[in-house]
């Protein structure tokens, strides 16, 4: 599997089949989405995932829900994600007690859009 590391400071990759991308992540991901070769997968979320959401580059969001509460800041800042997401898949996770939920952005005025 081809891997891309998005970093403003990393100069060289030490991993097999890996490319370092130093430019604008949204532009790079948009270009990668236009090339043949399958889906792109991002593990984790954070600022990188938020950048992709803000640029409208997320076609599907798969969340693994772990029933544990953690102290700290909210996972997503207010207003960061589209207002509504439509649940398109649900199933058990790999470990007992985990659920995997798959969402897509809701169509305006459609089911789950809140309008």
Which residues have CB under 8 Å from 58's CB, separation 6+? 49, 52, 105
Q: Write the DSSP symbol of residue 75.
A: S
Give the tens place of pLDDT for each residue, 31-58: 999 998 878 888 877 889 999 999 999 9
Domain boundaries defined on the chain? 1-58, 60-115
pLDDT for residue 115 is more than 90: no
pTM for this prediction: 0.64
Of the pLDDT bands very low, low, confident and very high (cuts 50, 70, 90), residue 113 is: very low
pLDDT for residue 112 is more than 80: no
């Amino acid at each position: 599997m081809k891997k891309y590391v998005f970093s403003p400071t990393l100069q060289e990759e030490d991993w097999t089949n890996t490319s370092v991308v130093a430019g604008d992540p949204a532009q790079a991901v948009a270009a990668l989405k236009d090339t043949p070769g399958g889906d792109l997968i991002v593990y984790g979320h954070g600022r990188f995932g938020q950048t992709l959401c803000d640029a409208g580059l997320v076609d599907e969001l798969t969340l693994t829900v772990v029933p544990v509460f953690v102290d700290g800041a909210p996972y997503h800042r207010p207003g960061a994600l589209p207002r509504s997401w439509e649940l398109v898949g649900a199933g058990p996770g790999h470990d007992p007690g985990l659920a995997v939920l798959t969402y897509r952005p809701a169509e305006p005025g459609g089911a789950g859009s809140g309008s």
